[in-house]
Structure 1
């Protein structure tokens, strides 16, 4: 992967090729960076959700290629200043049954994590 990035950099911005050569792409480095990004995105979403005076949830449930139910929870909110927010709040794999009580448990867990009542 790194070879392709360096080759692309050589074509697009030859003066910055050295910077691409010095980027560490080990498995641990990439994993750590992805975890940092996820943590930051969750923090930003929590801050946005806390500022919402009114919100609604949109749910979508479907199955993946392994026939596991996937529940998508979207958050739509508005603040006092009429700033709108529409974000994917969670993607949950629902193991076993997908009865209303199972979906309610997952939605409730997501709302608790975002600090919504």
Structure 2
């Protein structure tokens, strides 16, 4: 009997037809309801099947059960593929919105410029790739893109170092909540506070006989 190892226990292939279970990512998964069983043990799998699904499938012979298992496994694979596709598309639209927001911030323009950019994107999409219109429409470019769920802007302050070998290291120095407006002056004040709290100067140069290291604080 073929076995698949999992946490010092084995999933037996016969459990697929007997209990309508399959094995996905180190865990037994019920093909009927999609529930996971934490421990790969026949008692747990049998108990789930008998209490949840036995009455519905008890009249099937072994051939019918195997056919049903293959059908449900194909359905499971299809669902997983679709789910991964949706997640991938969602991640791409979120990433795109932050990339545009970062470019707007770098150009010192207000975040509501994103709405204008979105209109331009949709016009281009209509002409160049109309089949992608929904994907472009899902990219959020409102002024709240850089805000949290309470509509409070979050300023991430980073410190970056470059040594004499031109090796760059970067660390998050702090995260500041900005209530109200986010003008250049207010952003600079928050960066200054963050640097002061860490007992650093806005520009610190350290030198030794062989090499030098320049440190500075920047914001995004």
Class of the TM-score when normalised by the shorter of the 2 chains = 0.3 to 0.5
Please give the TM-score of this superposition, normalised by the length of structure 2. Answer: 0.24
Please give the TM-score of this superposition, normalised by the length of structure 1. Answer: 0.42
Identify the structure with bigger relative contact order (alpha carbons < 8 Å, sequence gap 6+).
1
